[in-house]
Amino acid sequence: MTQTPVTQTNPQPRITVWNEYRHEKENPKVSAVYPDGIHKVIAVGLSAHGFENVHTATLDEPEHGLTNEVLDNTDVLIWWGHKAHGDVSDEVAAKVVARVLDGMGLIVLHSGHFSKVFKALMGTGCDLKWREANDKERLWVVNPAHPIAQNVGEYIELEAEEMYGEHFDIPAPDELVFVSWFSGGEVFRSGCTFTRGSGKIFYFRPGHETYPTYHQAKIQQVIANAALWARPTASAPRSFGNRPEPLEPLHTQTERQ
């Protein structure tokens, strides 16, 4: 599949790819698929699509690699997590949530649905059914006009993946881009968009660590499309709190009479 580069009409977002990077160091089956980590494969895929400002961060770095400086210089954060959701500090998770509300884009991949960040932004349990049994997965594009589905075709087929099945305990998405069918018979809302505060969020289901999903050209295309879609855009400021000075002169009750 021909990769579609970023064009001059799409300003370059600053992207940080975050990954636990635990499975790859502990499980030989995973390291055989992602010897340098899932985050590296995703970052290389983004670079191949023309993104020039792509960085990575991992769980075991100081502040999980998400210092204030890193977050302040991130337009789109891509998040992959699985076995160590509880090891993410509440402080760092809260910082990420705050940045999303202020306009940073967030792409949550696969088992990141159970991360502290995603659950806080959704306000629900985010649970689901699952089975790891080499299911074939077919992700159908149900919103072909959506920018995230650009250059993908009618569907994406993965010969082997972990099954996720409904019910997926999330709020109703703003937009549904992909729906998955699995060879075991289950279906799943696999590409969901949300808006929280000034930030845009995309949840994308595929990507179990023992399968080469992120090496797939169409999967890389979706992530690249999502990075462009989720980048911050000019919007009305979010302003809260007491307003002692009114915009217009106020009149007393006597003056009104």
For 85-102, how does the pLDDT look when each residue is reduced to its tens digit (9 = 90+)? 999 999 999 999 999 999
Strands, sheet with 54-58, edge to edge from the N-terminal-most edge strand: 54-58, 15-19, 76-80, 105-109, 199-204, 187-196, 175-182, 129-141, 155-165
Domain ranges of the chain: 15-233
pLDDT of residue 255: 63
Contact 176, 227 (CB under 8 A): no
pLDDT of residue 250: 85
pLDDT digits (tens, 9 = 90+) for 139-175: 999 999 999 999 999 999 999 999 999 999 999 999 9
pLDDT at 223 over 90: yes
pLDDT at 241 over 80: yes
**Exposed / middle / buried, residue 107 (Cβ in 10 Å: 0-12, 13-18, 19+):** buried
Average pLDDT over residues 106-128: 98
pLDDT of residue 256: 59
Nearest to 128 by CA among 162, 161, 169, 163: 169
* Residue 243 pLDDT level (bands cut at 50, 70, 90): confident
Contact 33, 212 (CB under 8 A): yes
Q: What is the mean pLDDT of the chain?
A: 94
- % pLDDT > 70, the chain: 94
* Residue 6 pLDDT level (bands cut at 50, 70, 90): very low
| Pairwise pLDDT comparison (8 vs 55), residue with the higher score | 55
| Pairwise pLDDT comparison (255 vs 177), residue with the higher score | 177
Please give the Cα distance from 160 to 2 (Å, whole number): 23
pLDDT digits (tens, 9 = 90+) for 98-112: 999 999 999 999 999
pLDDT of residue 11: 72
pLDDT of residue 237: 81
pLDDT at 236 over 90: no
pLDDT of residue 8: 35
pLDDT of residue 253: 63
pTM: predicted TM-score of the whole model, two decimal places: 0.93
Nearest to 197 by CA among 108, 98, 107, 113: 98
pLDDT of residue 235: 78
| CATH number assigned to the domain covering 15-233 | 3.40.50.880
